[in-house]
Chains A and B, each alone.
Chain A
Amino acid sequence: MTNSRILETAPPLLAAERLVKEFPGVRALDGATLTMRAGSVHALLGENGAGKSTLIKALTGLHRPDAGTLEVEGRPIVLNSSADAVRAGVAVVHQERNLIPEFSVAENITLRQIPSRRGLVDREVMRDTARRCLDLLGLDLDIDAPVKGLSVAQTQLVEIAKALSTESRVLLLDEPTSALTMAEADRLYDVVGRLRDQGRSILLVSHKLEEIFAHCDTVTVLRDGSSVLEAAPLSSYSTDEVVDLMVGRSHTAVQFAPRPTPTEGPAALELDGVATAGGHQDVSLAVRRGEIVGLYGLVGAGRTELARAILGLDRLTDGQIRVNGEPARIGDVRSALNTYRIGYVPENRKEEGLFLDQSLTMNIAVTVWERIKRAVGYVPRRKERDLAADYTTRLGIRSAGTGQQVSTLSGGNQQKVSLAKWLAAQTEILIIDEPTVGIDVRTKAAFHELIWNLAADGLAIVLITSDLPEMVTLADRVGVMREFRIAGWVDNDDHDYGTVSRAVIDLIHAREPASEPTIVRRHRPRPDHPGRQARDSTNSSSVLRGLSSGKQCGETRWHVWHRASSHRCRTLAGWRFLGDVRRGGFPDRPFVLATERRG
């Protein structure tokens, strides 16, 4: 921090002035300003959809801002590609890993500019560069080892080394610790501190406020695409003040006419202590007809995965799903639809919800062919067209007719089509996942009214959304999910944004529990390995022995998946496995669910 005071008079390393970026129907950035000075760690905060990732993309040349200026060390600059950003000395480490697992550490670090001599890779220069980058971080890694054998934390650090290989002075870290344990995170922050002392500027995006307050010097808070707090010293703010700024007081939830909330009879959909092969633990919830139950959480908290488990796309390992009070065995989407009348409007409408190159009729009628078909599977065209036309008018889908290709509709209309097929199928339980992503504000309001009215008409609705105002507007109760569990419930009877959003954010940012659940999964079965017993015997103590004697997962072939971020391999050394061990997975790919505590 002393460094930052000395350099206060010098021009900032990176300055973004009143950036504006518009997408069709959405103003993702609306005057965002960010000033990063040499020798400081800068926090970028904001709720989901506040514009953080758009800002990062604008800073790294992936998005071209519609208005506003960018300056690097006082010089105005225009970034047209990520290569331009690299040349300007701005590097980014994204939340998801971007390394090539089969390549060595050295190859990965120098991937952007592989040193070559006469068209051949110059291995000596490559290894020198890699070693220099690792030295900057104070890391001692085998640069010839393939990346796939490294732990999550190590790959994270290799990513940072890779970012440094291009002589970058500005480093953007997007949720760097989301997949790390606390000890690993501490290691990462040591490196961040070292980089700051070298006079670089680091931007940190994280949802973990304790970490932000422990390691950052200055802070910028984004809300609705603009900076509400700008390069302020973090030490003069409390956590509560920052959260208030993130949430904002300006939101007043739209109030709809109250719905009668029935309290009698069995719940339409009830989850009782559900655990899944995907990693959910002890998830319980109940939705009655006419009720909207919300599921809030950060990306990767396991909400969509829970929806998929309810639809039978992921196996239940424990607990029970009940539909209208009766225990339900849902094997696939077809039985979810035909037997239990459950519909799912997926989050990613273009990839999972719609058949873009097909007509409106095909998209809406897909769920009703079973019902309207006659002998030999004959589907009367008239009937399906009338049905599609009916729902097109009921939902107010703007089209040139039911023959129109869905890809030519606007985002809002496409989302309505994605919903229409489930209404046409006469579902009684509807799981709606992120209904208004990428939809402009006015259509959004119309969509909210639509969902509200569906519930008023007696549908049981599970609403998954990362849009907090939307959640507060619609839901009767909000379940906050964290790391594949329900962290807590918030009642939302008054739809009061201030109190509810505070309660929700408190639940999300609560400290991690000491014991952190982990999935252990063994790759390729090997007869001589103790892991075999995970499949062959119910004796969990032998499994525990096999686990606790494990070394690097690359060697023992035990793969450990961190709950919040799948596909991560972690070291088992020094861990004791306590408590309950469950077997699961596919016959050829067994895994053990264990409760882990670092000893």
Chain B
Amino acid sequence: MSAPPVERTDVEVESRDRAKPRRRLDPGRAQRLGLLVVIAVLVISFGSASSAFYDQQLTIFPLLRDISILCVVGLAQLAVMSIGHMNLAVGRMAALSAMVMGLAYQELHLPLYAGLVLGLLVGAAIGALTGWIISATGVNSFVVTLAMDFVLLGLVSLVYAQFTTSAAFTVKPAGMDELRKYSLADVCLGPVCGSPAVPQLFLFTVVAMLAVGWLYSRTRVGRELLLVGSNIKAAQLSGIPTGRRVIGAHALSGTLAGLAGFMLAVTAGSFTATIGSEFMIPSFLGPVLGGTLLTGGAVSVIGTLLGTTLTQVIRQGLTLLGVGLESLNIYLGAILLLALSTGRIRTVLSERKARTSR
């Protein structure tokens, strides 16, 4: 079939309402640039306030380790945010995966990475189940994942009570301790392979970021996920299998949550039931600060890293300056509020702009 020959001049009658080309920086990129500037300013000011902030062993290494874990948590949330959903069970999914890993190491004596893969598969399965429930029932993801959170909370506690005495799997497969302590400098002799301030766990984050970034920017499935988030009706009428995409997004979220659970367990040194209980709020902070829309249709992987970095730098810096835990939470709450409002502020601003330009 050939397309219609309509390049005649009489078709082009819309010159008066032709949109003017925009030369401005697109808002997402501007937001990420802003984040980078804020982070730089904070790092410099915290550093000048207390030189301990630049201590590679005591500050930077644990800071980057926390960022690594929470960035993966953020990516887990980003996966469902791309279709306009939420995953309130992100922490408990991490707990479930970590539990399966701990069980595998203790009962099956699996090697480190075999246990990891098993845990990730369970994470993917629980995510897929959640997605299936959402797409089959049409119930809001908020409600379904909240319910899933409770179910998993009970399940995970039950299993730990059954298999352990101290509510933790303490059997460590070979390589786990090294993974916790080692930095890039330990990959090879000398400072060739990287700085001693960068933990090896960060490599997991890099792999996850590359995979998720590639998915959303280069593949058909990633694009279709974004379109489902953008307008699910139009997506369905354009031939996108929306049900399958919803399930896929949640499965990806579960997998990434499982990875974060693994990373936290490695850091903590044991697999406990409380893994992931602190994940939920940071999981939103990172992506939303970085420009991922709560309403779906736009994601930013780099932004997630930057957003997570910002919150962790603030937390670490304020702790160093001697701010108590309670007031720390007030600051973080304020940041969350600001982050969650940015999306709305952005739409209001662009709507106002559209109105004045009309």
A residues in contact (CB < 8 Å) with B:
24-25, 311, 313, 332-334, 336-338, 344, 346, 351-358, 362, 365-367, 369-370, 373, 376-379, 381, 391, 393-396, 398-401, 404, 408-410, 412-413, 421, 423, 426-428, 442-443, 446, 449-450, 453-454, 457-459
Instruction: Select which of A25, A357, A426 is within 8 A of B297 by beta carbon.
Output: A357
Given known contacts A338-B239, A421-B238, A442-B13, is B1 in contact with A355 (CB within 8 Å)? Answer: no
Q: How far is the CA of A102 from the CA of B234 in the complex (A)?
A: 32
Closest Cβ–Cβ distance, residue B322 to chain A (whole Å): 44
Residue numbers in B under 8 Å from A393 (CB-CB): 7
Given known contacts A334-B239, A367-B239, A457-B2, is B297 in contact with A355 (CB within 8 Å)? Answer: yes
Q: A354-B231, A404-B19 are in contact. List 17 more A-B contacts (CB 8 A).
A: A24-B17, A334-B240, A351-B234, A352-B231, A352-B233, A355-B230, A355-B231, A356-B231, A362-B223, A366-B238, A379-B220, A395-B3, A404-B22, A410-B14, A410-B18, A449-B6, A453-B5
Are A366 and B227 in contact, with the CB atoms below 8 A? yes
Instruction: Select which of B1, B10, B219 is within 8 A of A457 by beta carbon.
Output: B1
Are A344 and B3 in contact, with the CB atoms below 8 A? no
Q: How far is the CA of A486 from the CA of B218 in the complex (A)?
A: 46
Q: How far is the CA of A569 from the CA of B80 in the complex (A)?
A: 39
Are B239 and A336 in contact, with the CB atoms below 8 A? yes
Are A351 and B233 in contact, with the CB atoms below 8 A? yes
Residue numbers in B under 8 Å from A457 (CB-CB): 1-5
> Which of B5, B235, B238 has its CB near the most chain A CB atoms (within 10 A)?
B238
Are B1 and A408 in contact, with the CB atoms below 8 A? no
Are B14 and A413 in contact, with the CB atoms below 8 A? yes
Residue numbers in A under 8 Å from B219 (CB-CB): 373, 376-379
19 A-B pairs (CB sep. < 8 Å): A332-B241, A333-B236, A334-B240, A354-B234, A362-B226, A370-B220, A377-B220, A378-B218, A394-B7, A396-B6, A398-B12, A398-B15, A410-B14, A421-B238, A426-B1, A427-B1, A443-B14, A453-B4, A459-B1
B residues in contact (CB < 8 Å) with A:
1-7, 10-15, 17-22, 218-221, 223-224, 226-227, 230-231, 233-241, 297-298, 354
Residue numbers in A under 8 Å from B236 (CB-CB): 313, 333
Q: How far is the CA of A421 from the CA of B234 in the complex (A)?
A: 12
Residue numbers in A under 8 Å from B239 (CB-CB): 332-334, 336-338, 366-367
Closest Cβ–Cβ distance, residue A501 to chain B (whole Å): 26
Given known contacts A357-B298, A404-B19, A409-B19, is B13 in contact with A443 (CB within 8 Å)? Answer: yes
Q: Find the B residue at minimum CB distance from A447.
A: B11
Are B230 and A369 in contact, with the CB atoms below 8 A? no
Instruction: Select which of B4, B241, B297 is within 8 A of A450 by beta carbon.
Output: B4
Residue numbers in B under 8 Å from A399 (CB-CB): 19
Q: How far is the CA of A356 from the CA of B11 in the complex (A)?
A: 23
Q: Find the A residue at minimum CB distance from B227.
A: A355
Q: How far is the CA of A370 from the CA of B239 in the complex (A)?
A: 10
Instruction: Select which of A336, A373, A396, A409 is within 8 A of B11 by beta carbon.
Output: A396
Q: How far is the CA of A443 from the CA of B6 in the complex (A)?
A: 13
Q: How far is the CA of A336 from the CA of B239 in the complex (A)?
A: 8
Closest Cβ–Cβ distance, residue B22 to chain A (whole Å): 7
Q: How far is the CA of A357 from the CA of B235 in the complex (A)?
A: 13
Given known contacts A369-B223, A394-B6, is B233 in contact with A25 (CB within 8 Å)? Answer: no
Q: How far is the CA of A332 from the CA of B238 in the complex (A)?
A: 10
Given known contacts A362-B226, A400-B21, is B2 in contact with A379 (CB within 8 Å)? Answer: no
Residue numbers in B under 8 Å from A370 (CB-CB): 220
Q: How far is the CA of A553 from the CA of B171 in the complex (A)?
A: 64
Residue numbers in B under 8 Å from A334 (CB-CB): 239-241
Given known contacts A332-B241, A358-B297, A379-B223, is B3 in contact with A394 (CB within 8 Å)? Answer: yes
Residue numbers in A under 8 Å from B218 (CB-CB): 378-379, 381
Closest Cβ–Cβ distance, residue B126 to chain A (whole Å): 24
Closest Cβ–Cβ distance, residue B291 to chain A (whole Å): 13
Residue numbers in B under 8 Å from A409 (CB-CB): 19
Are A400 and B22 in contact, with the CB atoms below 8 A? yes
Q: How far is the CA of A446 from the CA of B12 in the complex (A)?
A: 8
Closest Cβ–Cβ distance, residue B20 to chain A (whole Å): 7
Are B231 and A449 in contact, with the CB atoms below 8 A? no
Q: How far is the CA of A346 from the CA of B234 in the complex (A)?
A: 9
